[in-house]
Amino acid sequence: MNFKTRISFSYSLSMLLFMSAFNLGACAQLKRGTETDDASKAKSISQVPASSEPEPVIPSEPVGIKKGDILLAYPRGENNNKIDAPATFLIGSVTAGKKLLLDGQEVKTNAQGYFAQVVKLAFGKNDFNLHVDGQGASDGLKVTVERPAPPPVLSTNSFNILPESLSPKEDIGVTAGDIIQIAARATPGCIVTAKFGGHTVALKPAVQKRKDGKTTVNLGLATTFGVTFQRSPSALKDLYLGFYKVAPNDNFQNANVIFTLQKSAAKGAQSIQAKAEGKVSVVQQPILLSTAHKDTIVRLGPGQARTTPLPEGVRLMADGYLGQWWRLDLAPGRHVWIAKEDMVADEEINNVPLSKVSTVNLETDSYGARVVVPLNQKLPYQIEQDLSGGKLSLHIFGITSDTDFVTSDQKPSDSACAKLIDYVTWRQKSDRHYELVTQLKSKDQWGFYADYEENSLVLHIKTPPPIDVESGTLKGLTICVDPGHGGKEPGAIACSGVKEATLNYALGKQFQNALEALGAKVIMTRTAEQYAGLQERVDTAIASKADMLISVHNNSLPDGRDPWKEHGSSSYWYHTQSMGLANLARERLVKDGGLKDFGTRYQNLALCRPSNMLACLVEVGFVINPDELSALQDPKFQETVGKSLAESVKTFLYQKLGGLQNNQPSPAANQ
Ligand SMILES: [Zn+2]
């Protein structure tokens, strides 16, 4: 992974504010580079000690800037070393045994000469000079880092309204009851109004002095790597905010939002006007749309957190939009957002996306149990896995229940249905919202997904891998091992200049060896130097019918953190079913590998998102922590990690499958 998300002091905050207000149901979400698991870039590659496997070791150059005894792996000139954070670090190495100085002060290095020196950044250009003690400082390695200064706040002496600051910045479609938030940056201490669709909205300064003398700021939260920053009130002095709630009789179309800045309330006072980029329209009638392709990404807000993806041809009603996003009306009080490019208009069809459900059928196939819900067309759905395990809720929208009974496949008690499902029940949660609850016999779930077969929505529930616990092996387990990054995507760059991708592969290969030694069937998502996209990796795991997907990465930190202090082994899960595996893998890794415990966390990562199987991501160590890097590059340590991960898989399976064997289904099940 690579947490090099910049702390952004971007002033598009008024837009974010508008979006969150428009999307009333959206939850707050910490923003990180979650779409790609990592995305740092570099040119060349470095060497890693040969693993015990006869994989070719690629002769290569370390990534970074080299001068004499010093290699600087970060920052190395990318993006002109522009770093928008109050501090960064110099990551690199010096010939072992040499004393390294930074502007005359000794830099802490480990035995291999690796260093990770935190440096503070002032606004503007910051010069650093690294040189080896005893050598001339002028022969040292010089690096300049620029911290962009925040845009200046408009002075009270000016009389100006900034056109690029005006919100809405994109066209928006709204319906009655929606709140439109309006924002502008203009000279402090003036009067700002916005006019649109026959309404005039008075804006107020974002920073206000209260009666008790305290200054209030009602916005300005920025987050990075789980840390929340409150913007300074002084940086928001020229920000004005307003809002308007759309009334039932409003019917403006493509209304311009015209802002007026007035020196004072006096008649004839000096004034200027400016127009927002975005226009506002009331969506009077629902717009019928359908999803354009498989795995359509569905979000809780425009560009915000994801929810269950939808297959092609699912029909939805839009009741709003923001720029390039449709807002879809699932049920009263329940919306999702899909990119406009991912949807097609159902211009010819006047058939609304509504259906009823009568029977629900339980069936069995090679994946496991099937809960089949016949509908008259493809309708949107969401799946929720109960946090305590043992329950799957399928929410289907546009549905009115007419369900009187749930049929079973009447197969013998050894069918997947009989083994997995305790009972199925349903309820009408609200108008157009039908919830089908599948109560499972075990709290341990092994995988699930939903798709359409014609117009029948099918919830698939996976049977556990067919492993004989008595055998002491992993025979019967199919596992997909994903060494993170590779090819054109190096991942994080280590102190030594080695690419994270190279280390991930060496560790993944050892993991594969150890799993195969235990009898498991292993599928790798890439070869040593191959590039594979995130979806490609997930597709590999699904196509191979893997029971598990484990992604192997190594960690780094964002600017402003201290690699000497924050480091260790960690793991990540997204669906509840994978939490136990993630926990066990990290615990075992800490025990066997001896690195610090950096914890197990819920995180929305591409390689944790597939639900068809158990999926988790392991960050073995930090490549920018000198001591952890020394371990990660050691072939013995790599072998230990491989074995440790394989043992954690075995322990997990044996615990769960052992438990399952003691949990025989009752003969009355599914009748
Ligand atoms: Zn990574």
Return the pLDDT at 570.
97
- CA nearest to 346, candidates 324, 322, 326, 332: 326
Return the pLDDT at 347.
79
Q: Residue 94 and residue 92: Cα distance in Å, rounded?
A: 7
Angle between helices 635-661 and 500-517 (to 10 degrees): 50
Residues with a beta carbon under 5 angstroms from ion ligand 1? 1, 38, 484, 491, 553
pLDDT exceeds cutoff 80 at 588: yes
CA–centroid distance, 497 to ligand 1, in Å, is 15
Return the pLDDT at 295.
92
Return the pLDDT at 17.
32
CA–centroid distance, 100 to ligand 1, in Å, is 29
CA–centroid distance, 555 to ligand 1, in Å, is 6
279 contacts 197 by C-beta, under 8 angstroms: no
Tens digit of each residue's pLDDT (9 = 90 or more) over 631-652: 999 999 999 999 999 999 999 9
CATH topology of domain 287-345: SH3 type barrels. (2.30.30)
- CA nearest to 328, candidates 666, 1, 93, 23: 23
Q: Is the peptide bond between 610 and the residue preceding it cis, with omega within 30 degrees of 0? A: no
Write down the residue that tokens 């370390």 correspond to. Answer: 62
- Residue 611: C-alpha distances to residues 308, 412, 616 (Å): 10, 28, 10
Residues 6+ away with beta carbon under 8 Å from 141 = 65, 67, 68, 70, 72, 129, 130, 131
**Coil, helix or strand for 286?**
coil
- The alpha carbon of residue 605 and the mean position of all alpha carbons in its chain are separated, in whole angstroms, by 5
CA–centroid distance, 94 to ligand 1, in Å, is 25
Return the pLDDT at 19.
33
Tens digit of each residue's pLDDT (9 = 90 or more) over 114-141: 999 999 999 999 999 999 999 988 889 9
CA–centroid distance, 552 to ligand 1, in Å, is 8
> Where does 556-603 show beta strands of DSSP type E?
569-573, 597-602
Q: Enter the tokens of residue 140.
A: 């040292």
Return the pLDDT at 492.
95
CA–centroid distance, 500 to ligand 1, in Å, is 7
pLDDT exceeds cutoff 50 at 9: no
Q: Residue 130 and residue 665: Cα distance in Å, rounded?
A: 68
Q: Residue 2 and residue 39: Cα distance in Å, rounded?
A: 7
Return the pLDDT at 537.
98
458 contacts 451 by C-beta, under 8 angstroms: yes
CA–centroid distance, 299 to ligand 1, in Å, is 24
Confidence of residue 309 (pLDDT cuts 50, 70, 90): very high
CA–centroid distance, 568 to ligand 1, in Å, is 14
Which is it for strands 306-310 and 448-453: parallel, antiparallel or unpaired? unpaired
280 contacts 196 by C-beta, under 8 angstroms: yes
CA–centroid distance, 37 to ligand 1, in Å, is 6
Confidence of residue 52 (pLDDT cuts 50, 70, 90): very low
Confidence of residue 410 (pLDDT cuts 50, 70, 90): low
- Section 536-551 average pLDDT: 97
Q: Residue 391 and residue 435: Cα distance in Å, rounded?
A: 12
CA–centroid distance, 499 to ligand 1, in Å, is 10
CA–centroid distance, 597 to ligand 1, in Å, is 18
> Where does 161-245 show beta strands of DSSP type E?
172-174, 179-185, 191-196, 199-202, 204-205, 207-209, 215-217, 221-224, 227-230, 239-245
Which is it for strands 399-401 and 355-357: parallel, antiparallel or unpaired? parallel
- Section 34-56 average pLDDT: 35
Tens digit of each residue's pLDDT (9 = 90 or more) over 337-350: 999 999 999 877 77
Residues 6+ away with beta carbon under 8 Å from 307 = 298, 299, 300, 336, 382
pLDDT exceeds cutoff 50 at 457: yes
CA–centroid distance, 496 to ligand 1, in Å, is 16
Dihedral, CA of residue 259, residue 263, residue 269 and residue 274, to nearest 10: -20
Return the pLDDT at 229.
61
Residues 6+ away with beta carbon under 8 Å from 490 = 40, 41, 42, 45, 63, 499, 500, 501
Q: Residue 357 and residue 342: Cα distance in Å, rounded?
A: 27
What kind of architecture, by CATH, is found in domain 355-462? Sandwich (2.60)
CA–centroid distance, 603 to ligand 1, in Å, is 14
In percent, how much of the chain has pLDDT > 90? 72
549 contacts 515 by C-beta, under 8 angstroms: no
Average confidence score pLDDT of the chain: 87
Q: Residue 329 and residue 336: Cα distance in Å, rounded?
A: 7
Burial of residue 93 (number of CB atoms within 10 Å: 0-12, 13-18, 19+)? buried
Return the pLDDT at 358.
86
* CA dihedral (83, 89, 95, 100) positive or negative: positive
CA–centroid distance, 551 to ligand 1, in Å, is 9
Which is it for strands 179-185 and 124-132: parallel, antiparallel or unpaired? unpaired
Residues 6+ away with beta carbon under 8 Å from 144 = 81, 125, 126, 127, 128
Return the pLDDT at 159.
96
- The alpha carbon of residue 29 and the mean position of all alpha carbons in its chain are separated, in whole angstroms, by 10
What pTM, to 2 d.p., does this model score?
A: 0.85
Q: Which residue has the higher pLDDT, 459 or 387?
A: 459
Residue boundaries of the structural domains of the chain: 287-345, 355-462, 469-658
- CA nearest to 276, candidates 21, 26, 18: 18
Instruction: Decide yes or no: CATH 3.20.20.20 for domain 469-658.
Output: no
Q: What is the DSSP letter of 5?
A: P
CA–centroid distance, 491 to ligand 1, in Å, is 5
Q: Residue 356 and residue 127: Cα distance in Å, rounded?
A: 68
Return the pLDDT at 224.
53
Q: Enter the tokens of residue 290.
A: 């359908």
Q: What is the DSSP letter of 37?
A: S
**Coil, helix or strand for 616?**
strand
Return the pLDDT at 387.
82
Residues 6+ away with beta carbon under 8 Å from 211 = none
In percent, how much of the chain has pLDDT > 70? 86
Residue 631: count other Cβ atoms within 10 Å of its Cβ: 18
Q: Enter the tokens of residue 106.
A: 């000794």
